[in-house]
């Protein structure tokens, strides 16, 4: 059963498609002198893909074992099968779960340290989509543990997670402008995801949705891409390095320095649990504070 579920993971099956899309987009960029790719940056992104796959292996196996155990405990396991409505409901619940997982990765600094490498590229392209958060693989599946308790088959859960991630690959591009207003109103689009990768104060910690953008609209984290404010990709303070170890570890090392500087255990806890940018002895640079000060 474990082998079957691992085979159901669409990310492995889709990898050749992803690589072909990167080559096509990079070729188009080069042909038209758009400067949307840089070889060192893309190689760093691919190194994060490999690192995330390695780090995820054990947490994934443990999560699958827990999924099976929790599914067996669920009083709904004989009610919810593989009916069409169960797939639709699971799709919605999975996307809702992804929204909160993704938002937590931006609003809790310790979790951000495991996600930040996905945002460390100063480019937005299909290669960036494969620059996966490495440290987040350790805690990721904890957010999904409630779904087998609702009676959903673990194999279904893994499949829907894979579908969601497959969709997200395609929104990492500058080649697609805004779509029809109805599509922009409901779905996460390239325009919405460009905002998510922006370091502009207006765009920080916005548009966390996976397939749907409705969660951001409902919970106050939505921002429109504006023609009068082009997206600046990357971090508020860029690392300017393609070294895989630097890309992977720089925020963990920054947390370590802040913990050593802190003078109380309360401040050390705040460095771990508050949003990135909080400081016990300097200006508060959390995204919410910066937006408030800028009037956004």
pLDDT for 234-243, tens place per residue? Answer: 999 999 999 9
Q: Return the minimum-mean-pLDDT range out of 10-19, 114-123, 157-166.
A: 10-19
Q: pLDDT grade, residue 3 (50/70/90)?
A: very low
Q: Is residue 140 part of a domain?
A: yes
User: Within a domain: residue 14?
Assistant: yes
**Average pLDDT, integer, range 22-51:** 97
Whether 213 is in a domain gets the answer: yes
Q: Tell me phi and psi for residue 22, to 5 degrees.
A: -65, -45
Of 78, 98, 14, 89, nearest to 49 (Cα)? 14
What average pLDDT does range 172-190 have in this prediction?
A: 97
Q: How far apart are CA 38 and CA 23, in angstroms?
A: 12
Residue 141 lies in a domain: yes
**Structure confidence at residue 263 as a pLDDT band (50, 70, 90):** very high
pLDDT above 70 for 9: no
Q: CA-to-CA distance for 25 and 145, rounded, in angstroms?
A: 37
Q: Is 212 helix (H, G, I), strand (E, B) or coil?
A: strand
DSSP letter for each residue of the chain: -HHHHHHT-HHHHHHHHHHHHHHHHHHHHHHTT-----HHHHHHHHHHHHHHHHHHHHHHHHHHHHHHHHHHH-TTTTT--S-HHHHHHHHHHHHHHHHHHHHHHHHSHHHHHTTGGGG--S--SHHHHT---STHHHHGGGGGTHHHHTT--HHHHHHHHHHHHHHHHTTS-SS-----HHHHHHB--HHHHHHHTB-SGGGTT----SSBSHHHHHHT-----BTTB---BS-SS------HHHHHHHHHHHHHHHHHH--SHHHHHHHHHSPTT--SSS----HHHHHHHHT-
- For residue 39, being part of any structural domain is answered with yes
Question: Would residue 275 count as lying in a domain?
Answer: no
- Look at residue 7 and tell me whether its pLDDT is greater than 60: no
In this prediction, residue 229 carries a pLDDT of: 96
Task: Answer whether residue 264 is part of any domain.
Answer: no
Q: In total, how many domains does the chain have?
A: 1
Instruction: Determine the angle formed by the axes of helices 265-273 and 244-261, rounding to 10 degrees.
Output: 150
The pLDDT value recorded for residue 296 is 74
Note whether residue 279 is domain-resident.
no
> In Å, what is the CA distance from 213 to each residue of 29, 47, 231?
28, 29, 18
Q: What is the pLDDT of residue 112?
A: 98
**Residue 184 domain boundaries:** 2-219
Mean pLDDT, rounded, for 241-261: 97
SS3 198: strand
| pLDDT score of 5 more than 60 | no
When pLDDT is cut at 50, 70 and 90, the band that residue 11 belongs to is low
Mean pLDDT of the chain: 94
pLDDT of residue 295: 81
């Amino acid at each position: 059963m474990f082998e079957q579920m691992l085979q159901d993971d669409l990310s492995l099956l889709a990898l050749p498609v992803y690589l072909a899309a990167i080559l096509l987009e990079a070729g188009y960029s080069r042909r038209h002198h758009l400067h949307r790719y840089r070889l060192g940056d893309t190689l760093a992104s691919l190194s994060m893909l490999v690192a995330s796959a390695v780090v995820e292996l054990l947490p994934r196996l443990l999560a699958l074992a827990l999924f099976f155990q929790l599914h067996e405990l669920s009083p709904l396991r004989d009610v919810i099968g593989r009916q069409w409505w169960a797939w639709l409901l699971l799709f919605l619940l999975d996307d809702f779960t992804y929204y909160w997982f993704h938002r937590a990765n931006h609003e809790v600094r310790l979790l951000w340290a495991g996600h930040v490498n996905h945002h460390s590229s100063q480019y937005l392209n299909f290669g960036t989509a494969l620059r996966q958060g490495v440290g987040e693989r350790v805690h990721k599946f904890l957010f999904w543990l409630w779904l087998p308790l609702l009676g959903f088959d673990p194999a279904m859960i893994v499949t829907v997670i894979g579908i969601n991630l497959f969709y997200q690959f395609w929104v990492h591009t500058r080649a697609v402008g805004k779509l029809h207003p109805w599509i922009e109103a409901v779905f996460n689009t390239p325009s919405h995801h460009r905002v998510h990768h922006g370091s502009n104060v207006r765009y920080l910690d916005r548009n966390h949705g996976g397939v749907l953008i409705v969660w951001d609209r409902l919970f106050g984290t939505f921002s429109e891409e504006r023609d009068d404010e082009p997206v600046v990709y990357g971090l508020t303070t860029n690392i300017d390095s393609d070294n895989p170890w630097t890309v992977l570890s720089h925020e963990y090392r920054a947390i370590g320095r802040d913990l050593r500087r802190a003078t109380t255990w309360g401040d050390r806890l705040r460095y771990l649990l508050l949003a990135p940018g909080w400081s016990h002895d300097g200006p508060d640079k959390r995204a919410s504070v910066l937006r408030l000060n800028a009037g956004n």
